[in-house]
Amino acid sequence: MASGVKPRVKVPKSASAGEAITIKTLISHPMESGQRKDGDGNPIPRSIINRFTCEFNGQSVIDVKMEPAISTNPYFEFEATVPEAGEFAFTWYDDDGSVYNDNKAITV
Amino acid sequence: MKYKSLTALAALAISAPMVFAGGADDDALVIDGQEMISKTAAPAHMAETGIDTIISGWHFREDDTQAMQLDTFDNPGMIAVDQAMDAWNTVEGTAEKSCASCHEGPESMKGVRAVYPKWNAEAGEMRTLAMQINNCRTEQMGAEPYKYDKAEMTAMEALITVQSRGMPVNVAIDGPAAEYYEKGKEIYYTRYGQLELSCASCHEQNYGNYIRADHLSQGQINGFPTYRLKNAGLVQVHNRFRGCIRDTRAETFAVGSPEFVALEVYVASRGNGLSVEGPSVRQ
């Protein structure tokens, strides 16, 4: 169980219709790869965020599958066009089954 | 392996002097729209050093690294600030108090970072920010002290530091602090280790030049605690001191030792006038 996991998202509060906006997301997570060993030589079990998705009003914007080579505190920055006012829903899926959510509304 | 390092050396020899001629760059350090003082006239007590402009380490880093510090969201060091915010409000110890019980919001810590290390007249000792945090924990909260350079301590330092962001460093070196200043200065100019290097060998006489692949800064500590990309975590100033002395192949002083406290007083005072930048981002 990863501790201290906290999602953060930066989305502009408003945009004009059809405009491409920049979205930045960051989640604090150790992203333990499963390749390392502890002081006694036992493997440390893998514990990573394996999937990240962003949806806008139910429509998929981005869906990312993540692998163990990704560094601690994964950061994604991407662009999305906003056709109408609505809400972005961000979801991170942890190896341990936890799901972390964040939502940001945007006006047009 | 050998071929690789030779190529790297050759590449460095060709590209470095052209790209970084003159050392520090001329970019402006503006964090979230707030302009920082990242270059300014050296304080009067530095007249004997031959340095007339003090320069933040930010100017010696590459553009990508620099950019990460310009936006609070992009700065990975701010994660620790978030975590310390939770610790700030957590009740701990026998007195059943949190930081917030006495100090309210962390905004009350504005200006604190800029003047530390600071002489505590009541206790009769020179205190770094970490020592002050632990004093609060043991005396006011009745809680266990943090280990000097552990993540919780560094995060709490970052939270307190960020409240003073943009304010000029103003560490006192007169009165009772003079003794520490002198002692720190002696350490600064003492050559340590098999390589016989002092702080001044690199950070006073050769800043702007390269030591192998490293671009030497003035060794200013106004940006601490610093998020180092190679550590993927925050680094305290005493960690950095220890790392530097270790790299000279010497036995180092311990983190939190009186020697490093004195050195911190001296090195901090060399940055009097630069903005508090912490948590900064470095390579």
Q: How many domains does chain B have?
A: 1
Phi, psi for residue B276 in degrees, rounded to 5? -65, 125
Angstrom CA distances, A40 to A31, A44, B81, B90, stand at 21, 10, 32, 33
Complex ipTM = 0.76
B265 Rama sector, left if φ>0, alpha if ψ -120 to 50, beta otherwise: alpha
Choose the closest CB to A10 out of B73, B79, B83.
B73
- A71 interfaces chain B, CB cutoff of 8 Å: yes
Q: Is B199 annotated as a binding residue?
A: yes
Choose the closest CB to A24 out of B73, B82, B83.
B73
Is residue B103 domain-resident? yes
Interface test with B, best of A3, A23, A72, A76 (most B CBs within 10 A): A72
Choose the closest CB to A72 out of B73, B74, B232.
B232
Domains of chain A: which residue ranges? 6-106
Is residue B10 domain-resident? no
Chain B neighbors of A28, CB-CB under 8 A: 79, 82-83
Is residue B164 domain-resident? yes
Measured CA to CA, the distance from residue B255 to residue B148 in angstroms comes to 7
Active-site residues of B, by number, are 244
Looking at CA atoms only, how far is residue B229 from chain A in angstroms? 11
Is residue B14 domain-resident? no
Q: Is B99 annotated as a binding residue?
A: yes
pLDDT tens string, chain B, 283 residues long: the values are 445 554 554 444 444 444 444 588 888 899 988 899 999 999 999 998 989 999 999 999 999 999 999 999 989 999 999 999 999 999 999 999 999 999 999 999 999 999 999 999 999 999 999 999 999 999 999 999 999 999 999 999 999 999 999 999 999 999 999 999 999 999 999 999 999 999 999 999 999 999 988 899 999 999 999 999 998 889 999 999 999 999 999 999 999 999 999 999 999 999 999 999 989 999 9
Q: A6 and B82 in contact by Cβ < 8 A?
A: yes
* Confidence tier at A71 by pLDDT (50, 70, 90): confident
* Domain region containing B164: 36-169+176-281
Please check whether the domain covering A6-106 is classified as CATH 3.20.20.210.
Answer: no
Here the CATH number for the domain that contains residue B113 is: 1.10.760.10
